[in-house]
Amino acid sequence: MIQKAFFKIVGMYCTSCKPVVEKQLNQESGVSRVDIDYMTDSVIVEFDPRIISRETIKQKLERSGYKFVRIA
pLDDT at residue 11, rounded to an integer: 79
Query: Is residue 11 packed enough to be buried (19+ CB in 10 Å), middle (13-18) or exposed (0-12)?
Result: exposed
Domains of the chain, residue spans: 3-70
Query: What pLDDT is recorded for position 72?
Result: 58
Q: In the predicted model, what is the mean pLDDT of the chain?
A: 88
* Topology given in CATH for the domain delimited by 3-70: Alpha-Beta Plaits (3.30.70)
pLDDT of residue 67: 85
The residue among 58 and 69 whose pLDDT is bigger is 58
The partner residues of 67 in beta bridges, in order of sequence, read 10
pTM listed for this prediction: 0.85
Higher model confidence: residue 56 or residue 17? Answer: 56
